[in-house]
């Protein structure tokens, strides 16, 4: 019986992780973006350089794996010593609404607390196209804040991490 589990990404899983992000993004933006547009907009440099961008910089990149196939991603990236950012939370359609996003987020929050972060921020592109994601983030305790980066997103949220 296949085991579905969340674990840190390995270098040989980088291409699969990028494919999950690409697939889900194209699904959400199918009537607006082509794969070429998406590649221009998002080089996925952070995933390509996952070790230096996340692990070596007080962050982590997790993958949801089903039978050795990556079906979801999620990461924590350092913004400063007290604030980190929730990044790359993407799940293939069949794995949404089953609690994997919640479980991944809890594991990422545990990492963030242990790393000494006090707040987690995130940005979300669009409420109309990502209603499930917005609902999940609200249930996780995120609340709206002012823009904190220059991304093309229009929703910015933050969550306070309770102490360990």
DSSP-assigned letters across all residues of 1-31: ---EEEEE--GGGHHHHHHHHHHHHHHHTTT
- Total H helices, total E strands in the chain: 6, 7
pLDDT per position as a tens digit, 67-77: 999 999 999 99
Q: Is 141 among the domain residues?
A: no
Q: Is 52 among the domain residues?
A: yes
pLDDT per position as a tens digit, 54-96: 999 999 999 999 999 999 999 999 999 999 999 999 999 999 9
Instruction: Report, as an integer, the average pLDDT of 15-25.
Output: 93
Instruction: Write out the H or E segment, with its range, that includes residue 103.
Output: helix 100-114
> Which 8-state DSSP code applies to residue 102?
H
**Which is more confident, 156 or 126?**
156
Q: Is 153 among the domain residues?
A: no
Domain count, the chain: 1
Model confidence at 15, pLDDT cuts 50, 70, 90, reads very high
Task: Quote the CA–CA distance of 68 and 64 in Å, as a whole number.
Answer: 9
Look at residue 159 in the predicted model and tell me its pLDDT. 98
The CATH number covering residue 30 comes to 3.40.630.30
Which pTM does this prediction carry? 0.93
Domain that holds residue 62: 4-117
Residue 164 confidence (pLDDT) above 60: no
Q: Is 48 among the domain residues?
A: yes
Q: Is 29 among the domain residues?
A: yes
Strand ordering across the sheet containing 69-78: 4-8, 60-66, 69-78, 83-91, 119-124, 155-160, 143-144
Instruction: Report, as an integer, the average pLDDT of 111-120.
Output: 97
Q: Is 127 among the domain residues?
A: no
Residue 163 confidence (pLDDT) above 70: no
Look at residue 158 in the predicted model and tell me its pLDDT. 98
Q: Is 144 among the domain residues?
A: no
The residue behind tokens 């400063």 is: 80
| Residue 125 near residue 89 (C-beta atoms within 8 A) | no
Q: Is 98 among the domain residues?
A: yes
Look at residue 124 in the predicted model and tell me its pLDDT. 94
């Amino acid at each position: 019986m296949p085991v579905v589990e969340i674990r840190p990404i390995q270098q040989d899983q980088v291409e699969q992780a990028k494919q999950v992000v690409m697939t889900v993004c194209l699904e959400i933006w199918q009537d607006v973006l082509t794969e070429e547009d998406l590649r221009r907009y998002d080089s996925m440099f952070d995933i390509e350089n996952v070790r230096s961008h996340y692990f070596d910089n007080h962050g982590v990149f997790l993958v949801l794996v089903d039978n050795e196939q990556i079906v979801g991603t999620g990461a924590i990236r350092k913004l400063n010593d007290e604030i980190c950012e929730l990044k790359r939370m993407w799940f293939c359609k069949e794995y949404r609404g089953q609690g994997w996003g919640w479980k991944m987020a809890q594991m990422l929050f545990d990492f963030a607390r242990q790393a000494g972060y006090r707040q987690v921020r995130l940005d979300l592109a669009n409420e109309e196209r990502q209603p499930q994601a917005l609902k999940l983030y609200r249930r996780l305790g995120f609340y709206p804040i002012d823009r904190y980066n220059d991304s093309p997103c229009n929703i910015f949220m933050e969550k306070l991490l309770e102490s360990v």
